[in-house]
Amino acid sequence: MKLESVRGMRDILPEEAVLWQRLEGEIRALFALYGYKEIRPPVVEPAELFARGVGEATDIVHKEMYVFPDKKGQMLALRPEATASVVRAYIEHGLYAKGDLAKLYYLGPMFRYEKPQKGRQRQFHQYGVEALGSLDPALDAEVIDLAWHLMERVGLSREGLFLRLNSIGCREDRPAYREALRAHFSARREELCADCQRRLAENPLRILDCKEPQCQEAIAAAPKSLDYLCPSCRAHFEELLSLLGDLGLAYTLDPRLVRGIDYYTRTVFELCSRELGAQDALLGGGRYDDLVEVLGGPPTPGVGFAGGMERLVLVLSQRQPLDAAAPDLDAYVVPIGAEARRKALELLAQLRRRGVAADLDYLGRSLRKAMSVAARRARYALLLGPDELAQGRLTLKDLRTGQSSSLFLGEFLANPRAFLA
């Protein structure tokens, strides 16, 4: 039997990994710029954490979570998202007792058992931030500013993106809104699709998300969560909109935006790309003011977002195809003859100790072939043959211009950087 990677879990090969490294670097740098510190929770957690945190009834937990017993029968889960883990760690280590906001970020693999397709894998990677401990709408605005800033930083223009924004209110507002939706849709039950008739009983909020044409009219006429906000939630949302205006950040109010995780309260948002297909959400997030308490900590509000690495890589690489031929070395050493090769190994070791990225041929290729590899991988070739050995020199060839020059080995090694501009 041929061994292959598990369905929905793919290899990121060196060519693509270059882009991943660049993105991860920019993400870390930007998060640090906003005062977020990295946290690395485990990939495996008690299954119950997600059942309680994300919500037993959500698709993510109910249908898509990898759950398995360990050798003692404890039910574990591969994390389907990281917010619940971060909050668990926040409570477990008493981070709320440090007397300040906890601003945390993470980067890593998540797992959901779904049908794989473009922009959706079973093992995928998310980056995200969580700010725990303040209800200030300025923090919502900061998180959204960070999201926009990150997109700009990695090279995505504002024109190709749009931010969907909504407020779904706090837990006091929810029952009244749910009833209003139920009343509205019950009256028009006949025009709803089969799925939505079922949702009517289970969770009428979900109907807003439906894309069936036959449901659109009823959805358009549905009561909006914004009309059911309590005075404090309304004030919070209005302040957020005003702050976004000050920061010049575009948004589209979307009364249909509900999101698929139970812990959200008040602000919810998604940043989407116009250049992707069905899976167009690059990142999504919002407030979760009850989550810390639900997971056993002191009442603590929180806000954050999570973005998908794969989707970012997808958008970026479809605008700018990956360059497989990009040189990865400063210099390629090309020895001629057995004696020169011994000397070349020594030269190579010294170059690397001086911070010069260098390599040589280990496949016994011909000089011609070695030069061709050199041209592909490095800007400079360092030739070392009997002639050079006799004089204590080496030949430096600039592979871009084709110009060669002869240098004394000692002089070159004293400061190789000076010759490898």
Partner RNA sequence: GGGAGCGUAGCUCAGCCUGGCAGAGCACCGCGCUGUGGACGCGGGGGUCGCGGGUUCAAGUCCCGUCGCUCCUCCCA
> For strand 281-287 and strand 302-308, is the pairing parallel, antiparallel, or unpaired?
antiparallel
Binder among 44, 101, 316, 367 for RNA (CB under 7 A)? 367
Stretch that binds RNA, among 16-24, 94-102, 183-191, 276-284 (CB under 7 A): 276-284
Indicate whether 3 belongs to the interface with RNA (CB under 7 A). Answer: no
Stretch that binds RNA, among 41-49, 68-76, 152-160, 203-211 (CB under 7 A): 203-211
List the one residue from 133, 137, 307, 416 that touches RNA (CB under 7 A). 307
Nearer to RNA, 281 or 413 (CB): 281
Question: Which 340-359 residues touch RNA, going by CB under 7 A?
Answer: none
Site mask, RNA, residues 4-23, x = CB under 7 A? x--xx-x-------------
Does 82 bind RNA (CB under 7 A)? Our answer is no
Q: Does 115 bind RNA (CB under 7 A)?
A: yes
Q: Does position 259 bind RNA by CB under 7 A? A: yes
- 129 is a site residue for RNA (CB under 7 A): no
Pick the closer one to RNA by CB: 157 or 401.
401
- Asked if 238 touches RNA (CB under 7 A), the answer is no
Candidate segments 20-28, 150-158, 247-255, 385-393, binder of RNA by CB under 7 A: 385-393
Number of residues binding to RNA, judged by CB under 7 A: 69
Residue 170 token pair: 């706090």
Residue 61 binding RNA, by CB under 7 A: no
* Residue 329 near RNA by CB under 7 A: no
Q: Which residues bind RNA (CB under 7 A)?
A: 2, 4, 7-8, 10, 58-60, 64, 81, 112, 114-121, 124, 126, 195, 206, 209-212, 259-261, 270, 272, 277-284, 306-308, 310-311, 336, 365-369, 371-375, 381, 383, 385-388, 395, 397, 399-402, 404
